[in-house]
Chains A and B, each alone.
Chain A
Amino acid sequence: MPKDVPELLKGTLDLLILKTLESGPMHGYAIARSIEAATELALQIEEGSLYPALYRMTNRGLLQFEWGRSTGNRRIKSYRLTPKGRKRLEQEQANWGRFAQAVARVLGGQPA
């Protein structure tokens, strides 16, 4: 793992997970790969830390899970958004947009 990758901004992991699951149910590994692909390795994370986030979000009712079977007949746990999670995603996206705009305004003097 490259050492110069920036620390994932605190709180952004949750947002990334929500965004990733927007398109449909996924298991943990797929979520990790999807985040990796979408961020083009820029936000590469220690993959294990994904799971506490998933569990926490499940407990808060943002995600649901189900056990299914993989093609190799292994038990696979998939996650999907709950309606509450979907709503949270919209909120967070809007927040993030405002935040990014504000930061950009400070840094660049005008909206991006």
Chain B
Amino acid sequence: MSWATDSWMRLRSLLSRKERAAQIDDELSNHIDMLVRDLESAGVDPATARREARHRFGNVRAIRKELYRMEKKRVEHERRATYFDELRQDLRYGTRQLLRSPLFTAIVMATLAIGIGANTAVFSVFKGVFLDPLPYDQPDRLTYIFHGDTDGSCCGPLSGPDFLDLRRMTETFEDLAVISSGNTSITGDGDPAVVLGARISPSMFSLLGVQPVRGRSFVDDDELGDGRVAVLSDGLWRQRLGADPNIVGSSLELNGEPHTVIGVLPPGFSVPSPWYVNQMHDVYVPFDREEITQGRDSHWLLTLGRLEPGVTWETGDAELKSLSKSLEEKYPETNHKKTTYVFTMHDRLVGRVGTQLLLILSAAGFMLLIVCGNVASLLLSRATSRETEMAIRAAVGAGRTRIIRQLLSESILLSLLGGVAGVALAFWAMTLLRAVIPTDLPRVANIGIDGTVLGFALGISVLTGLVFGLAPALSASRSNLTESLKEGKGTPKSGSRRNVLRGALVAVQFALALVLANGAALMLRSYLGFRGMEQGFDPENVLTVNVTMQGERYDDIWARGDFLRQAIERIEAIPGVIAVGAKNRLPLRGGTNSQVWAEDDPERPPSGGPGPLVEFARVSGDYFEAMGVSLLAGRYLTANDSVAANPGTIINEEMGRRLWPGENPLGKRYSFRDDPPNWMTVVGVVEDVRQWGPYMTPRAEHYLPYTAPGWASARRMYLIVKTELDPLSLVGAVREAVIAVDKDQPISEIRTMEGVLSDQFAGQRFNTLLVGIFAAIALMLVTAGVYGVVSFYVAQNTHEIGVRMALGAGRGRVVGLTILRGLRLATVGGVVGVFGIFATTTVIRSLLFGASPVDIPTMIGGVLVLIGVALVASLVPAHRAASVSPVTALRSG
């Protein structure tokens, strides 16, 4: 009888609950039976013997229960001990294995580090931008409310009266508040500065759930506007005002008017605007009441809403739409076919970019899968050389699960090491990423590697280890015991079976790489397509600077007009300047629009009525020449156009098409006001400019002389300077020219139009760059994978190749056969990949900015690239195969 060893006892501990109960019952009933038997043989009659036995034994049920509890505890303890024991063994053994083949370990770790690092870095961006809740109180109840047409075109600001009516009537929103952002100059102590300021309705701060940390918030009375009060951001208070502890109650000159500071906001807080991404508002003043009680047809207020608790945004949207309907009936002149759209704040701020980041994360995930394929393939090739070891383990009694567990422990150890290296790589990658991250990526400051990101890295590391470890582990555990031991080395049979598995892995990698490369190619095509597209202006050698024309002296539009004229004249005099003009908004950067009516439009109701929306641009000087916007018909504006009874204007082609389809628009008259109409006469037609960015088709737009009656003759204007050479070399001269006109007018936002244009593509460039990098890495990995499989095939079949050559097969034939091996993998992978491309069309669409997700030439190109990769990767092993000497090969076989 052999006595229990540790492992024997542990084996026992794996017993089922039922078996445990049976054992206890057996033991106790044996005891009682033996007692009965002994009593009977001592002459006691059976019935008495049994009664006596039970009595002497005591309370069987209680004892059984107690033993049961003790046994359960023991088994649990044993099980845990066994598990940790084996894990410790596996890890110790695994570490030894890894140290034994340092090159293998280094290659695998590096491959894994790239895969895990890339995923970690992208995830940290995704988390910082999209996953983290917005930094406001109960952010899921926050929404934006936009004005739009009932036909679905959406997302402009609201008018003041509409906002007030909706706020009064709504029952699904706890509160609505509005904000209008704009540059604000701070004068008085120190240098004049221009900051982003905002006028807000007084309840804005409480709607967002924030209170000033010093002083107080706005109260409803401030809305009257005679208070001239301001609340400052923490940043402004610290940086410009030296964190003055007595700031509350002091006076600050904003846009030339004294304001009393009543509060300072907490650090990092800014009212979020989807139109000023990543820009912090530095100073807030309340609206004047008249500002928002008038002008139902002037839409300029960004509206925020806080839903009542438990109300979904869809419900809020439906309610506001029905309220808008009632406004439409009440105010048909202004609200005809107009409605409101509700979006969650999260969706509006980061929804679109979140989808894109998720796709980039998927691309990184694809790459990680390919990494898994490569590592699995490496492990499989190693498994062949470790077959004897596995056979010995099996021979001394290690079960299949035990071997699988040991191999998986090794894999996970590897992937954890790779994960550590990957996190280090991610830290490094983040510094690179920061350089290319678009500055308009929302919440860019919130991106970083934190606990959650590290947790993610740990999670994908373990998962990666399981994914790449499973196939090799299963394959190794299935080894034929006797055969392996007999051979003393890898058997050809199991080796070739493994090579089939490796081949399958490589084919899958091909498929993944094809999908990835195809996506990257499409993105690149889309990017180049938009980049090369006609924007409607010539960005080469164009300098733009902003002037704000602050101060009382510029209250008068003619004073502003004068300032612009003089500044333009002075800049024109600078050597190297070709043309100078001014405009209220830069191309691609959005605009302001209003409805207009063509004089001869027969459908125009007698009372005026709604007409098409037209972008309002104000220009001065030789804007069109400076911006390179071609004149297609008519003439440029002259000084007389602004003072004529019916001012002359220039329209774009699209406006001509909209208002006077099929007619020559020159000389036509139109108005944006009906009571009384202020007729304007079209004197020129220019080409369409993409005012709303490269991804939006040009809208109808008209250009008014700056001083012509109407609106949008803002204080804030951009000077446009076309130069012969590098435009930035003239910044100093331009600044001096402006200061020569008025020494208090600083220039800001110094940009080239090339830069403005480039910024527009920053997001697409970023996405394309990342996916492109992943695709490139994927291709390299696949190359390595094919190389590995074909090399292994050659090594395993040296004998066969030798025979073939001995029988007269030429070198060419051997090379051909070997390459065919690689091509076969590429073909299978390519076919699967094409299916993959079609399967992923819908998801990749959002990264393409409108380009078609299926592009046959790109796809064919992708397949060809993969075939090329397979060719190149097979070439070296094929050459090696062909240089096999038949004699050696036959002998070694």
Contacts and interface: CB of A to CB of B under 8 A. Distances in A.
Interface residues of B, number: 27
B193 interface: no
Interface in B794-819: none
Nearest to B26: A75
B66 A47 contact: no
Interface stretch (B69-77, B645-653, B748-756): B69-77
B74 A48 contact: no
A1 B63 contact: no
Nearest to A32: B31
B6 to A, nearest CB: 10
Nearest to A50: B31
B3 interface: yes
Contact of B34 (A29, A49, A55, A67): A29
B58 interface: yes
A51 B381 CA distance: 55
A61 to B, nearest CB: 10
Interface in A33-52: 33, 46-49, 51-52
Given A66-B1, A75-B26, A80-B3, A47 B31 contact: yes
B83 to A, nearest CB: 18
B277 interface: no
A74 B22 CA distance: 13
A23 interface: no
Nearest to B28: A51
B323 interface: no
A68 B791 CA distance: 57
A55 B67 contact: yes
B732 to A, nearest CB: 88
A58 B74 contact: yes
Interface string B26-40: 111011001100100
B4 A64 contact: yes
Contact of A59 (B23, B28, B35, B73): B73
Nearest to B5: A64
A84 interface: no
Contacts of B28: 48, 51
A65 B56 CA distance: 24
Contacts of B1: 66, 68
Contacts of A46: 56-58
Interface string A4-37: 0000000000000000000000011100110000
A56 interface: yes
Contact of A66 (B3, B30, B59, B74): B3
B424 interface: no
Given A29-B35, A46-B58, A52 B4 contact: no
A51 B27 contact: yes
Nearest to B27: A77
B780 interface: no
Contacts of A49: 58, 63
Contacts of A70: 30
B9 interface: yes
B56 A1 contact: yes
Contacts of A29: 30-31, 34-35
A104 to B, nearest CB: 32
Interface string A56-96: 10110000111110100011110010000000000000000
A46 B56 CA distance: 6
Nearest to A44: B56
A27 B35 CA distance: 13
B553 interface: no
Contacts of B743: none
B39 to A, nearest CB: 12
B30 A51 contact: no
Contacts of A51: 27-28, 31, 63, 67
A27 B30 contact: yes
Nearest to A75: B26
Contact of B31 (A28, A64, A65): A28
A6 to B, nearest CB: 17
B57 A47 contact: yes
B26 A77 contact: yes
A64 B3 contact: yes
**Among B1, B27, B74, which residue has the most Cβ atoms of chain A within 10 A?**
B27
Contacts of B23: 67, 75, 77
Contacts of B9: 64
Nearest to B33: A74
Contacts of A59: 70, 73-74, 77
Contacts of A74: 26, 30
Nearest to A64: B4
Interface string B94-123: 000000000000000000000000000000
A1 B27 contact: no
B68 to A, nearest CB: 10
Nearest to A1: B56
Contact of B66 (A1, A52, A65): A52
A47 B70 contact: no
A47 B56 contact: yes
B55 interface: yes
B36 to A, nearest CB: 11
Contacts of A47: 31, 35, 56-58
A64 to B, nearest CB: 5
Contact of A48 (B3, B26, B59, B73): B59
B233 to A, nearest CB: 67
Given A55-B70, A56-B70, A59-B70, A65 B35 contact: no
B95 to A, nearest CB: 30
Interface string B716-730: 000000000000000
Contact of B4 (A1, A32, A65, A75): A65
B57 A52 contact: no
Nearest to A78: B1
A27 B57 CA distance: 15
B241 interface: no
Contacts of B77: 59
Nearest to A70: B30
B32 to A, nearest CB: 9
Contacts of A65: 4
A77 B29 CA distance: 12
B60 interface: yes
A47 to B, nearest CB: 5
B53 to A, nearest CB: 9
A46 to B, nearest CB: 4
Contacts of A75: 23, 26, 30
A48 B27 contact: no
Contacts of A64: 3-4, 9
A51 B26 CA distance: 12
Given A46-B56, A51-B27, 12 more contacts: A29-B35, A46-B57, A46-B58, A47-B35, A47-B57, A48-B57, A48-B58, A51-B28, A51-B63, A52-B66, A66-B3, A75-B26
16 contacts: A1-B56, A27-B30, A28-B31, A29-B30, A29-B31, A29-B34, A47-B57, A52-B67, A55-B70, A59-B77, A64-B9, A66-B1, A67-B23, A74-B30, A77-B26, A77-B30
Interface of B: 1, 3-4, 9, 23, 26-28, 30-31, 34-35, 38, 55-60, 63, 66-67, 70-71, 73-74, 77
